[in-house]
């Protein structure tokens, strides 16, 4: 009798929320696997047979200054740029999925509230919704970054890209891993904010594009610039493979000022005490400081968006009388 009473009053065993996420979003999991496999195959082709053919064609037809058109070289560069474009657009795709299907659709059709009545609290539901795709995104993008670096380091054709190219810089390090996590967090926040599938994906896409643009604009300024200075007759210092910032004039006191003599006559520099020019830049030795500071910024914004999503969910479910 006691055993029966105990069994009747025992709380149901909580469901494994992560398994529910995997079952519910199997199509997205398949699409992610196909995406990673396809981009990996392109990178491996460019590193192997595509790179070998391009390298042989370069030796036969090209010099530093002149190169006859060759499909193997064009295909090699196209594969490289395709992989960068795919990884670069990934945060927006993740945000669209997270805002529309992962969160927005379940709130719109009531699936989420039904789940909360089955021994899965709203906070645990959201944690599983974010943790499972975050783990899969991290694993997949890490693989793509490693393959991209493998291809970049091989550099079988001695022209076509530099470490400072925006796509190459983003795809060659942890920035590429952090950006999809930002898209996931902003997508979840957007879906929770509007509680509709279509509106959620629209809000998620817009906020992710804005956040990505602001991060890319701010990140070069998070690490101190170096300055190259040239004397007045030589004009501005020449550009090499680097990330460049501001430029201007140098006065006799060594101060850096906006160039007051652009398009002016020869008497202008003396009138403004200009003795040279400067150009701010980040050399290749600053690759990892720049990568790590930008990654930290992206993850900080993602953490804030995640905290905001949990706070919003907590407020709304408490208002409805649902325990979090």
- Categorize the per-residue pLDDT at 38 as very low, low, confident or very high, splitting at 50, 70 and 90: very high
In this structure, of 93-97, 181-185, 315-319, the range with the lowest mean pLDDT score is: 315-319
DSSP string, 197-256: HHHHHHHHHHHHHHHHHHHHHHGGGGSPPEEEEEEGGG-SPPP-SSEEEEEEEEETT--E
DSSP string, 144-209: HHHHHHHHHHH--SSSS--TTSHHHHHHTSTHHHHHHHHHHHHHHHHHHHH--HHHHHHHHHHHHH
Q: Is the pLDDT of residue 186 over 60?
A: yes
pTM of the model: 0.86
Q: Is the pLDDT of residue 116 over 80?
A: no
Mean local confidence (pLDDT), 78-104 = 89
Q: Coil, helix or strand for 257?
A: strand
Q: Report the range out of 136-140, 163-167, 250-254, 263-267 with the highest average pLDDT.
A: 136-140
Q: Is the pLDDT of residue 160 over 80?
A: no
DSSP string, 32-75: HHHHHHHHHHHHHHHHTHHHHHHHHHHHHHB-SS-B---HHHHH
Q: Is the pLDDT of residue 14 over 50?
A: no
Residue 229, strand partner residues:
278
Mean local confidence (pLDDT), 114-140 = 84
What was the pLDDT predicted at 7?
Answer: 43
Q: Is the pLDDT of residue 307 over 60?
A: yes
Q: Report the range out of 2-11, 82-91, 128-137 with the highest average pLDDT.
A: 82-91
Q: Is the pLDDT of residue 98 over 60?
A: yes
What was the pLDDT predicted at 22?
Answer: 66
- Positive or negative: CA dihedral 20, 33, 193, 300: positive
Q: Is the pLDDT of residue 319 over 80?
A: no
Q: Is the pLDDT of residue 13 over 50?
A: no
Reported as a single tens digit per residue, the pLDDT across 200-243 is: 888 888 999 999 999 999 999 999 999 999 888 777 888 888 89
- Categorize the per-residue pLDDT at 146 as very low, low, confident or very high, splitting at 50, 70 and 90: very high
The residue to which tokens 């037809």 are assigned: 61
Question: How many whole angstroms separate alpha carbon 47 and alpha carbon 41?
Answer: 10
More confident residue, 111 or 32: 32
Return the CA Rg of the chain: 26
Centre a 10 Å sphere on the Cβ of residue 226 and count the other Cβ atoms it contains: 14
What was the pLDDT predicted at 59?
Answer: 81
- Mean of all residue pLDDT scores within the chain: 84
Q: Is the pLDDT of residue 119 over 80?
A: no
Mean local confidence (pLDDT), 15-28 = 67
In this structure, of 13-27, 72-86, 226-240, 278-292, the range with the lowest mean pLDDT score is: 13-27
Question: How many whole angstroms separate alpha carbon 116 and alpha carbon 126?
Answer: 10
- Categorize the per-residue pLDDT at 2 as very low, low, confident or very high, splitting at 50, 70 and 90: very low
What was the pLDDT predicted at 48?
Answer: 93
Domain ranges of the chain: 16-221+286-319, 222-285
């Amino acid at each position: 009798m006691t055993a029966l009473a105990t069994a009747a009053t025992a709380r149901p065993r909580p469901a494994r929320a992560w398994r529910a996420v995997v079952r519910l979003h199997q199509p997205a999991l398949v699409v992610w696997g196909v995406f990673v496999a396809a981009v990996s195959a392109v990178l491996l082709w460019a590193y192997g047979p595509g790179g070998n053919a391009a390298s042989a064609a370069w030796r036969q037809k090209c010099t530093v200054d002149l190169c006859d058109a060759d499909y193997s070289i064009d295909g090699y560069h196209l594969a490289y740029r395709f992989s960068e474009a795919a990884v670069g657009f990934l945060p927006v795709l993740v945000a669209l999925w997270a805002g529309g299907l992962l969160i927005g659709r379940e709130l719109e059709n009531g699936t989420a509230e039904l789940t909360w009545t089955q021994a899965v609290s709203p906070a645990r539901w959201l944690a599983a919704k974010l943790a499972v795709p975050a783990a899969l995104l991290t694993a997949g993008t890490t693989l793509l970054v490693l393959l991209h670096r493998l291809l970049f380091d091989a550099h079988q054709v001695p022209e076509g890209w530099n470490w400072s190219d925006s796509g190459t810089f983003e795809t060659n390090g942890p920035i590429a891993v952090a950006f999809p996590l930002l898209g996931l967090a902003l997508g979840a926040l957007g879906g929770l904010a509007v509680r509709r599938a279509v509106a959620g994906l629209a809000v998620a896409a817009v906020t992710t594009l804005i956040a990505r643009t602001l991060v890319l604009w701010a990140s070069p300024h998070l690490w101190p610039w170096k300055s190259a200075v040239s004397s007045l007759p030589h004009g501005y210092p020449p550009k090499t493979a680097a990330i460049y910032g501001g430029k201007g004039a140098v006065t006799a006191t060594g101060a850096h000022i906006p160039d007051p003599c652009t398009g002016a006559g020869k008497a202008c520099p003396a009138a403004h005490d200009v003795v040279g020019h400067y150009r701010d830049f980040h050399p290749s030795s600053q690759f990892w400081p720049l990568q790590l500071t930008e990654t930290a910024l992206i993850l900080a914004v993602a953490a804030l968006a995640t905290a905001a999503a949990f706070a919003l969910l907590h407020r709304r479910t408490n208002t409805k009388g649902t325990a979090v």
